[in-house]
Amino acid sequence: MKTYQTDQMKNIVLLGNSGSGKTILGEAMLFNGGVIERRGTIEGQNTVSDYRPIEQENGNSIFSTVLYTEYLNKKINILDTPGLDDFSGGVVSSLYASDLAVLIINVQNGVEVGTEIHFRHAENVNKPMIMVINGLDHEKANFEKSVEMMKERLSNDLVLVQYPLNEGAGFNAVIDVLRMKMLRYGKDGGKAEITDIPAEQSDRAAELHNALVEKAAESDEALMELFFANDTLTEQEIRKGITKGIISRGMLPVFCISAKNNIGIDSLMEFIVSEAPSITDMPVQKNRKGHEVKPNPTGPASVFVFKSSIEEHIGEINYFRVFSGRITENLDVVNTNNGTKERLSQLYVCAGKNRTKVPELHTGDIGAFVKLKNTKMGHTLNVPGNDWTYPGVAFPEPKYRTAIKAQSESDDEKLGEALNKIHLEDPTIIIEYSKELKQIIVHGQGEYHLNIMKWHLDNIYRIPTNYISPKIPYRETITKAAQADYRHKKQSGGAGQFGEVHLIIEPYVEGIPELTMQKFGSKEIKLSVRNKEEIELDWGGKLIYVNCIVGGSIDARFMPAILKGIMEKMEVGPLTGSYARDIRVYVYDGKMHPVDSNEISFRLAGRNAFSIAFKNAAPKILEPIYDVEIMVPSDRMGDVISDLQGRRGMVLGMNSEKRFEVIKARVPLAEMNKYSTALSSITGGRAIYTMKFAEYSQVPGDVQDAVIKTYSEEEEEE
């Protein structure tokens, strides 16, 4: 294969709703570039992309796939992405590695849920974009309606570069208003016959050409001056303006194709190699220190791994993009994320599972490594002496959680290894080994997302598993002060055990000073603070441990043992066995024995005194509250708000953003179980949401009673 220089390559990502035709478009582009000899089909399960068994079984993309083709002496790297929002990780990482998004719209359905979601993903990272209307050979094709929907739901910056002459079952011709020519295709598509525009189309073509010229002129002041002077622009000037307009996102060119029949693909590819931005046209990449890394072909070699996968018989494959310099076989590099030295013994360019060995890759190119020691997705590799590290891909927060358990305990270790491999391939699946809940919690983008993960466990890793309801990580605290004392005394021959602890506990609130006097009934206790210890708890909140011992009633050497006993009960609250938090403890008195007192005696005395006081301090359960932000079409906003209120949610505000209504709310995690499925049902799949932990808050009394009852029943069963 030819070695391509930086100015000879383009990197695009195919976006669009599931079923829009991304995979078949990629197939046609590879065929037209001579990378494959025949085009596969989804039905035939023989496409270059979607080659994994689960993708063939389901008939849609689950993972992003790296492809390439060659056209007009240029190389186009193509990233084919999944259409379903559950697999948005592949979309986000592919956007990071590309310079142009190609958004595909199925002409039968117009703008669908996935179309809007993918458009927003590209918008969020300010990625240049062109639009492709596919399926114009379908009998129900309606080009004008699709364009109207695109303007209404996506952007008013659309500009037609092409329109179909005869959409429907006989579709074989496109009017190209950039070249002002008609492109006519034969039975098998392929390369167009370029002819003059029919007379009956000349007025419409001229009108759209003028609109294109004006839009191109708007992107550059010099072009605008030429346009005013000459009342038009040459084709070369128009192309220059289009390129600038695409890069600034001030223009979204629209193309017409039938991917299935290979119609319009040659024209689209010609436009990509001529007008699409390359790495040198894009904003300069910055490393974690904020320093610019210019795409310098003669600079130090530096690459970023944007995707990792595990292939049968091969093992781990890391897909990368070259941000600087030139990568060669047997190059020694350093992983700046972990300091590991690696040797790049083999370099590949990939078309799905087909890999072609190459000797070198230049700035801007995309390739793959195999058999690296300690390099994963998100890592940076540099030549020695260069410390660049790229910030990496910002994946969406998980929206769905469930607990998972191997059906056989003997598979527990295998399950852990398999889950780690799954996370390697899909970083949006997050594995949490919760000591607190005694569960493995799996976080993902939706119910379908995690069902696909379970398919892999069942069929690829051969580990039978069950999904079970995840427990809620409640917290326990107190709402008033309480006093308790406890004497631990044990005599069983030889040395005995003796320790007595008197303490007071109260709720801890930041900024509230320590007690100096506390009254319980007729008993008044004076507190003299000698020293205190502020402990940041691993699970959130604080424990303030205050030593008020005077007169040596408890030796200072036993104070750490008392704290240890208290911490043991902080880890197992009396209401639900959850972690306790935000408590201030005053140890103010006690007794020792000159012979029998030891650390274990005071640990047990402190633990039991704390437990008694906790139960008398009006304990309450705290639950995790999440900030939830929902983007919803305005006609479904009322239904979404009603559903949130039924989930004990508190709506904090609403505003309009990018053609959507944005609802901001706070909702208890306990009420968010399977919310992604419910929201999809309410809105017809058109809403998306994010959720992020906000705080812990007291649960209402009726909810607390139900939680305690459930916990008690589970304890009895065990």
Question: Could you report the per-residue pLDDT of 379-426, keeping only the tens digit for each?
Answer: 999 999 999 999 989 999 898 999 999 999 999 999 999 999 999 999
Give phi and psi for 13, each to the nearest 5.
-120, 135
CB-based contact 256:133 (threshold 8 Å): yes
Q: Mean pLDDT lowest for which of 142-151, 289-298, 307-316?
A: 307-316
* pLDDT of amino acid 686: 82
* pLDDT of amino acid 606: 96
85-to-112, 118, 265, 397, 628 alpha-carbon distances in Å: 12, 8, 27, 12, 17
324 CB contacts (<8 Å, ≥6 apart)? 293, 294, 295, 296, 299, 300, 301, 302, 363, 388
Give phi and psi for 710, each to the nearest 5.
-65, -45
- Res. 371: pLDDT tops 90: no
Strand 579-580 and strand 475-477: pairing?
parallel
Instruction: Tell me what percent of the residues of the chain surpass a pLDDT of 70.
Output: 99
In angstroms, how far is CA 712 from the centroid of its own chain?
37
State the CB neighbour count (10 A cutoff) for residue 508: 18
* pLDDT of amino acid 227: 85
| Arithmetic mean of pLDDT, 506-510 | 94
pLDDT tens for residues 55-95? Answer: 999 888 999 999 999 999 999 999 999 999 999 999 999 99
How far is the C-alpha of 82 from the C-alpha of 120, rounded, in Å? 15
CB-based contact 139:40 (threshold 8 Å): no
- Res. 709: pLDDT tops 80: yes
How far is the C-alpha of 714 from the C-alpha of 712, rounded, in Å? 5
* pLDDT of amino acid 493: 67
201 CB contacts (<8 Å, ≥6 apart)? 165, 175, 182
Determine the 3-state secondary structure of 707 from DSSP.
Answer: helix
Determine the 3-state secondary structure of 212 from DSSP.
Answer: helix
| pLDDT class of 288 with cuts at 50, 70, 90 | very high
State the CB neighbour count (10 A cutoff) for residue 39: 20
Give residue 174's identity as a one-letter amino acid code: V
Task: Please name which of 268, 272, 241 lies closest in space to residue 9, comparing C-alpha atoms.
Answer: 272
**Two structure tokens written together for 540:** 């959130």
CB-based contact 544:439 (threshold 8 Å): no
How far is the C-alpha of 76 from the C-alpha of 714, rounded, in Å? 58
State the CB neighbour count (10 A cutoff) for residue 374: 12
- Res. 495: pLDDT tops 80: no
How far is the C-alpha of 587 from the C-alpha of 561, rounded, in Å? 12
What element of type H or E holds 158?
strand 158-160
CB-based contact 349:357 (threshold 8 Å): no
110-to-144, 170, 301, 307, 634 alpha-carbon distances in Å: 10, 20, 44, 31, 19
- Res. 718: pLDDT tops 70: no
CB-based contact 99:276 (threshold 8 Å): yes
Q: Would you put residue 352 in left (φ > 0), alpha (ψ -120 to 50) or beta? A: left
CB-based contact 23:50 (threshold 8 Å): yes
Burial readout 566-595 (b: 16 or more C-beta within 10 A, e: otherwise) = bbebbeebebbbbbbbbbbbbbbbbebeee
- For each of the domains in the chain, give its residue range(s) and CATH number, in order of start: 8-197+249-275 (3.40.50.300), 285-382 (2.40.30.10), 401-471 (3.30.70.870), 476-618 (3.30.230.10), 622-709 (3.30.70.240)
| Arithmetic mean of pLDDT, 96-100 | 97
| Arithmetic mean of pLDDT, 292-297 | 94
**Two structure tokens written together for 74:** 């240029």
Helix, strand, coil: what percent of the chain each, to 5? 30, 30, 40
115-to-16, 110, 146, 207 alpha-carbon distances in Å: 5, 9, 12, 28
CB-based contact 680:640 (threshold 8 Å): no
Give residue 395's identity as a one-letter amino acid code: F
* pLDDT of amino acid 491: 79
**440 - beta bridge partners?**
404, 433
Determine the 3-state secondary structure of 314 from DSSP.
Answer: coil
594 CB contacts (<8 Å, ≥6 apart)? none
708-to-468, 498, 575, 646 alpha-carbon distances in Å: 20, 34, 6, 22
How far is the C-alpha of 289 from the C-alpha of 280, rounded, in Å? 21
| pLDDT class of 313 with cuts at 50, 70, 90 | confident
**Two structure tokens written together for 558:** 């036993």
| Arithmetic mean of pLDDT, 94-122 | 94
Residues found in the chain? 718
| Arithmetic mean of pLDDT, 281-285 | 92
pLDDT tens for residues 627-677? Answer: 999 989 888 999 999 999 999 999 999 998 767 899 999 999 999 988 988
| More confident call, 686 vs 564 | 564
* pLDDT of amino acid 658: 66
**Residue located via tokens 């005995």:** 496
CB-based contact 632:663 (threshold 8 Å): yes
CB-based contact 696:580 (threshold 8 Å): no
- Res. 541: pLDDT tops 90: yes
Give phi and psi for 593, each to the nearest 5.
-120, 135
Where do the DSSP E strands lie in 521-582?
523-526, 531-536, 542-547, 579-580
The DSSP secondary-structure symbol of 176 reads E
